[in-house]
């Protein structure tokens, strides 16, 4: 349980705290800014790789989990940033925030599901 909490905190830091305004507004319109955002996300979330590797004594587990979630983060943000951007431009704050919440829900489902799938296959398998 503590592992998942750490993964969520690292995700929050990587996805929000270290995301600049330029990344946040540019990622919906430019693959360059989306790639920069995901690059920063990947760099900060390396912490997760080491946490998983050390907690479970299997560095490969951390590498796979990290790599898969960086790719999934790019895919999720590619779509959700375009939708949230549209709601922002329409000044539809209700659906803008609903979509941001949905984006985070998808990210959390990815974080959790890949954790348990890989834990079963790499560590216990």
The verdict on residue 109 lying in a domain is yes
For 58-115, the pLDDT digits (tens) are: 889 999 999 999 999 999 999 999 999 999 999 999 999 999 999 999 999 999 999 9
The tokens 């983060």 sit on which residue? 73
Residue 39 lies in a domain: yes
5 found inside a domain: no
Angle between helices 31-44 and 46-56 (to 10 degrees): 30
Distance CA 86, CA 95 (A): 10
How many structural domains are present in the chain?
1
* Reported confidence tier of residue 50, pLDDT bands at 50, 70, 90: confident
The closest of 7, 4, 6 to 73, measured between CA atoms, is: 7
Range of the domain at 120: 26-124
- Confirm whether 75 is domain-assigned: yes
């Amino acid at each position: 349980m503590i592992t998942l909490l750490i993964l969520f905190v690292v995700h929050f830091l990587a996805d929000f705290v270290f995301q600049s305004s330029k990344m946040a507004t540019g990622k919906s319109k430019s693959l360059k800014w989306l790639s920069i955002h995901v690059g920063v996300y990947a760099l900060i979330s390396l912490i997760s790789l080491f946490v998983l590797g050390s907690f479970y004594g299997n560095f490969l587990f951390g590498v796979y989990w990290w790599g898969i979630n960086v790719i999934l983060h790019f895919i999720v943000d590619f779509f959700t940033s375009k939708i949230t951007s549209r709601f922002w431009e329409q000044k539809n704050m209700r659906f803008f925030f609903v979509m941001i919440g949905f984006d985070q829900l998808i990210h959390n489902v990815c974080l959790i599901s890949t954790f348990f799938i890989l834990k079963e296959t790499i560590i216990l398998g």
